[in-house]
Structure 1
Amino acid sequence: MDILVALPPGDLRESFFPPDLRARLESLGTVEWPDASLSEADLVDRIGGVDVLVTGWESPKVTAEVAEAADDLALVAHTGGSVAPVVAEAVYDAGIAVASANDVMADHTAEHTLALLVGHLRSVPALDRAVADSEWVPEDADIRTLHGAEVGLVGLGTIGRKLLDHLAPFEPDVTVYDPYVDPEALSAWPFASLGDLDAALDSSVVSIHAARTEETVGMLDAGRLSQVPDGALLVNTARAEIVDEDAMLAELRSGRIAAALDVYHEEPLPVDHELRDLDGVLATPHVGGSQIRPPLTAAVLDDVERWKDGESLEHRVPREQWATMTR
């Protein structure tokens, strides 16, 4: 089996392929590790004879031209989450299987979402600062609980489903807005029900889990954000562009709502950006699903092994899922 790794050389590739995982991949076939970044034209030239293409962040896109030149390619194995920016629909037309670490990344992102949510509700950052400043419980400490809280999920998807698993012990009242989800999809979570966007936004915690698509960019504008109740917490570990930044900043300046954020319109967040100093904002640097990398690679290698052994892929991304993934 001939395998081409399309991740560029350097720290990024080494973080996804530490020595043990590099050796594991090399045990599966003949592996080419390019010594320079590949362009789409390079990939067209080198894809001939390749059975498995391993992609990741900073890999060239598998375009229709690549798919046409790929005489033996049977599997694109992506070490990241969404494959929509990585493979063109022509890859599916060519009958090439696509797998990714989306499910595993969703586990990590849902975990981070819960950490942000609980950390903010329990005022962990403020209490930590108080203790560090030789104080005790500040008089204005706003300590709340997730137990029995009203939670609105804007979009469901893989991360939203993982988050529902994490929320179950808290027995919240969850309203899910997702026009692509059937009510039966929530049968595993009796505390959750489908509702329209108005109902999801009318919650004490609003957590965003929609994919970034043409349909969702700017979906939460000033009018929508004004529907979020006073004192509510807005959580975004999905994509910043789903929320109108100016409208969100206006709400945060007023102190009417708070926010826990892991994604931003400009990343890294500029050093002078207002979000760094606003009260009521808990901010992390887009690390929700991306920093714990070896498990992502391991999941993809599991599927490469399954493909080699003629077994079904556990992390396969069907065309229908590809169509609704973040672009």
Structure 2
Amino acid sequence: MNVLVTLPDGEFRETFFPTDLRDRLESLGTVEWNPNSENFTEPELRERIDGVDVLVTGWGSPRVTADVVSAADDLELVAHTGGSVASLVSESVYDAEIPVVSANDVMADHTAEHTLALLLAQLRAVPTLDREMADGAWDASDTDIRTLHGAEVGLVGLGTIGRKLLDHLAAFDPSVSVYDPYVDAEDLDAWPSASLAGLDEALDSQVVSIHAARTEETVGMVDAERLSQIPDGALLVNTARAEIVEEEPLLEALRTGRISAALDVYHEEPLPADHDLRSLDDVVVTPHVGGSEIRPPLTAAVLDDVERLAAGEPLEHRIPRGQWATMTR
């Protein structure tokens, strides 16, 4: 097969394609690697797509538009080493019945793990205790240390990451309220501790974790009024997209100490060095690393499907049109 890899030449690509994975891909056929230090443009992709059987993409790759598809007579698979493909492929790809796979479910594993780590760190006051120990303290009697066991948890959105998180939460036997207008009650049968709820009920929890995709429908969904519904002393976790929660009302709630937060996503990235979130008490921040920094497993997952394509086997990481329509854009 003929494979075109759009990820630009350089250290970034090497993090996705260490030697063993590069060799694995090249063992499947003729591979053309992007020789440039920047991503292809859409016209450049169109020029190269003729005769390509498998298109391997990454963050920043040009959109596979109707114009690109019209030139892709041999294309059998789009394999994306990232998560969401909503901004990568157009509806024309699905109209042409070209399968699309991505590392979305593998990335979801990593993001759910990071979400749980942030959540537990804040509930158990790990950052606070670490700072106090560094200052020579030992007595933690005045530190607010809480537990996830039996806690009330609200999930706003239940995509792949939210479902993975439900698996992790099961060990703590929490009571989980799930808000997602695209989920039916039977979708939660695998998690007896979880039940469908309205947005108001999900926000009225000791722990609120954001897992909705960023779409026109969800941007600004958790505004000042919605934030006020989160109980005093609750923990807000956001490893999804910052735009779902309005920034200024969130900052106000955090400045007053009414709620605490654990965040991995921001309205401006990189987060400015002087941003309030870097210095507020009872706020833990990480630099958008939840699902993106452990990269070789992402590539390995899509290579698995390239090998399945070559062997005529069913694809395991396929993104159907319905899922594509609701992914983060």
> TM-score when scaled to structure 2?
0.99
Correspondence 1:260 to 2:262: yes
Correspondence list, 1:150-299, <5 A = 150-299=152-301
Q: Secondary structure at the match of 1:144?
A: coil
Q: What is the alpha-carbon distance in structure 1 between the residues aligned to residue 57 and residue 201 of structure 2? A: 39
Question: 1:138: Cα distance to partner?
Answer: 3.7
Q: What is the alpha-carbon distance in structure 2 between the residues aligned to residue 216 and residue 47 of structure 1? A: 35
Contact 1:306 1:312 survives alignment (8 Å): yes
Correspondence 1:4 to 2:28: no
Letter in 2 for 1:209: H
Question: 1:139: Cα distance to partner?
Answer: 4.3
Q: Secondary structure at the match of 2:237?
A: strand
Structure 1 residues 237-275: Cα deviation after superposition (integer angstroms, max 9, x where no partner) = 000000000010011111110000000000110001011
Residue from 103, 116, 119 that aligns with 1:117: 119
Letter in 1 for 2:134: A
Correspondence list, 1:293-312, <5 A = 293-312=295-314
Report the counterpart of residue 20 of structure 2 in structure 1. Answer: 20
Correspondence 1:40 to 2:46: no
Identify unmatched segments of 5+ residues in structure 2.
Answer: none
Q: What is the alpha-carbon distance in structure 2 between the residues aligned to residue 81 and residue 18 of structure 1? A: 19
Cα RMSD between the aligned structures? 0.7
Q: What is the alpha-carbon distance in structure 1 between the residues aligned to residue 13 and residue 278 of structure 2? A: 31
Structure 1 residues 66-119: Cα deviation after superposition (integer angstroms, max 9, x where no partner) = 111101001000000000011111110111100000000000000000000000
Q: What is the alpha-carbon distance in structure 1 between the residues aligned to residue 98 and residue 139 of structure 2? A: 58
Residue from 316, 322, 325 that aligns with 1:320: 322
Q: What is the alpha-carbon distance in structure 1 between the residues aligned to residue 252 and residue 135 of structure 2? A: 30
Contact 1:127 1:137 survives alignment (8 Å): no
Quote the sequence identity (%).
75
Q: What is the alpha-carbon distance in structure 2 between the residues aligned to residue 8 and residue 140 of structure 1? A: 52
Report runs of 4+ in structure 1 exceeding 2 Å deviation.
137-140
Letter in 2 for 1:33: W
Q: What is the alpha-carbon distance in structure 2 between the residues aligned to residue 20 and residue 52 of structure 1? A: 19
Q: What is the alpha-carbon distance in structure 2 between the residues aligned to residue 34 and residue 114 of structure 1? A: 37
Q: What is the alpha-carbon distance in structure 1 between the residues aligned to residue 145 and residue 58 of structure 2? A: 41
Q: What is the alpha-carbon distance in structure 2 between the residues aligned to residue 238 and residue 20 of structure 1? A: 31
Question: 1:140: Cα distance to partner?
Answer: 2.6
> TM-score when scaled to structure 1?
0.99
Letter in 1 for 2:9: P
Question: 1:35: Cα distance to partner?
Answer: 0.8
Letter in 2 for 1:104: V
Q: Secondary structure at the match of 1:31?
A: strand
Q: Secondary structure at the match of 1:311?
A: coil
Letter in 2 for 1:113: T
Corresponding pairs, count: 327
